[in-house]
Amino acid sequence: MKNFLAAAILILLAGCSTTQELARTVILTSVDFTPYADKGFLFTPEAYQGKYESRGIIKLDVIPQVKRLDFAFQAVDKKAWVPLGAPGEVWVAERLDSKAVIDEVYKAATAMGADAIVRFELITKEIHNGEILVPIYEATGYAIKRVN
């Protein structure tokens, strides 16, 4: 997801300038659910076909911190921040991490007594903050406790 977000921002920034040649780029986006599966927890985009108890609906939006920089006085860690805004403006957004988003969903679900999230969806989208677009994560799903 981080690579997708970086590519989307690169495309947006490139769209604001003159056209340039681009090198062939391969972007792999993946999310590893192994740490959760090892604990007996299930994340799936599918419906669950077995018996289960409903625990709740989860919807989580993560909106990054956005701040304006004065480059004469302030440096920014490029690994932690993404540039935003039009040329001449100096805005940055906190770089989002899909693993941190999934960790929050997992905590919320287990607090409900769930051991699975079905119809799970993790997407990136943008919201307007004045004249700039800010990338956000949205995670949704249905928390259940599977019954044997």
Rounded to whole angstroms, the Cα distance separating 9 from 125 reads 11
Q: What's the chain's Rg over C-alpha atoms?
A: 19
CATH number of the domain to which 94 belongs: 3.30.110.70
Of residues 143 and 70, which shows the higher confidence score?
A: 143
Conformational region of residue 27, where left means phi above 0, alpha means psi within -120 to 50, and beta covers everything else: beta
For 78-101, what is each residue's pLDDT tens digit? 566 565 655 556 777 788 888 889
Give the predicted TM-score (pTM) of the model: 0.69
Nearest alpha-carbon partner for 68 in 49, 91, 52, 86:
91
The count of structural domains within the chain is 1
Rounded to whole angstroms, the Cα distance separating 104 from 60 reads 8
Q: Domain range for residue 58?
A: 2-146
